[in-house]
């Protein structure tokens, strides 16, 4: 039946077109923002800030001088700005408290380029885990937040916090973790630690249009460099 041949050829051709379309669609939608690490001197990198670095800790190796805690350490001044040279972050810090529902306040939608320090957490450089949060993005088309590139950090990268008395505290990233927001590890992030540490928090994972929120939190853990 030769009359069926064009129909069969058409089916074959149409099938192949649909396959190509499907594969293309799959590839295009699967592609997410690449979590590539920027070059050490990349576009958007900012220089490390200068200023007296106050380390509560002596260097970890070699002979060190024992410091008695009985000579009560001067209380750390409040943090005023944050610099992460590798990913071009340079921001003043606003102060944040807890909302009425007990969740951590965040900078408002018109201030996504500013990070904030949780005043209920230890001050950077004092013993304990100091908490700084920033947005990954704004609500308008493609507005990037102050921590948009936070995911590009990795262990060893430097973070600087300047305090109200002009002193600078230097931190080194130890790890980066992602958690579903409904399984947020409160103890690991906010619980007591015995040395000066820093936690940077932003969002990650997929955005859920139904709730208007991202499903994951990204947490950068860092400790003070002596």
Residues 7-46 that bind other proteins (CB under 8 A): 7-23, 25-27, 29-33
The count of chain residues that interact with other proteins, using the rule CB under 8 A, is 108
The phi, psi pair for 105, rounded to 5°, reads -65, 155
Q: Spell out, one character per residue from 73 to 92, where the chain touches other proteins: x when CB under 8 A holds, - when not.
A: --------------------
Nearer to other proteins, 50 or 186 (CB): 186
Task: Report how far residue 23's alpha carbon sits from residue 148's, in angstroms, rounded to the nearest whole number.
Answer: 29
Task: Report how far residue 84's alpha carbon sits from residue 92's, in angstroms, rounded to the nearest whole number.
Answer: 12
Nearer to other proteins, 168 or 200 (CB): 200
- Residues 145-174 touching other proteins, rule: CB under 8 A, are 145, 147-148, 155, 174
Q: Spell out, one character per residue from 175 to 194, where the chain touches other proteins: x when CB under 8 A holds, - when not.
A: xxxxxxxx-xxxx-xxxxxx
Those residues whose C-beta lies under 8 Å from the C-beta of residue 130, and which sit 6 or more positions away, are 79, 117, 118, 121, 122, 123, 124, 161, 196, 197, 198, 199
Stretch touching other proteins by CB under 8 A, among 40-48, 81-89, 131-139, 159-167: 131-139
Does an H or E element contain 117, and which?
Answer: strand 115-118
Between strands 128-133 and 158-163, the pairing is: unpaired
Nearer to other proteins, 49 or 57 (CB): 57
């Amino acid at each position: 039946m030769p009359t069926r041949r064009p129909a069969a050829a058409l089916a074959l051709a149409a099938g192949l077109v649909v396959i190509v379309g499907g594969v293309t669609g799959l590839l295009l939608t699967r592609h997410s923002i690449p979590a590539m690490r920027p070059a050490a001197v990349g576009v958007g990198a900012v220089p490390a800030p200068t200023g007296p670095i106050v380390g509560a800790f002596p260097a970890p190796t070699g002979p060190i001088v024992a410091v008695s805690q009985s000579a009560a350490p001067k209380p750390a001044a409040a943090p005023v700005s944050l610099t992460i040279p590798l990913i071009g972050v340079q921001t003043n810090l606003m102060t944040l408290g807890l909302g009425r529902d007990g969740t951590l306040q965040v900078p408002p939608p018109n201030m996504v380029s500013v990070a904030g320090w949780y005043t209920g957490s230890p001050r950077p450089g004092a013993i304990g885990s100091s908490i700084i949060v920033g947005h990954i993005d704004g609500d308008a088309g493609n507005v990037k937040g102050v921590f948009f590139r936070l995911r590009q950090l990795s262990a060893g990268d430097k973070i600087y916090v300047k305090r109200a008395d002009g002193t600078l505290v230097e931190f080194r990233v130890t790890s980066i973790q992602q958690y579903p927001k409904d399984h947020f590890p409160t103890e690991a992030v906010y619980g007591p630690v015995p040395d000066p540490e820093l936690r940077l928090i932003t969002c990650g994972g997929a955005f859920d249009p139904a709730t208007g929120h991202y499903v994951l939190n990204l947490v950068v853990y860092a400790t003070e460099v002596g």
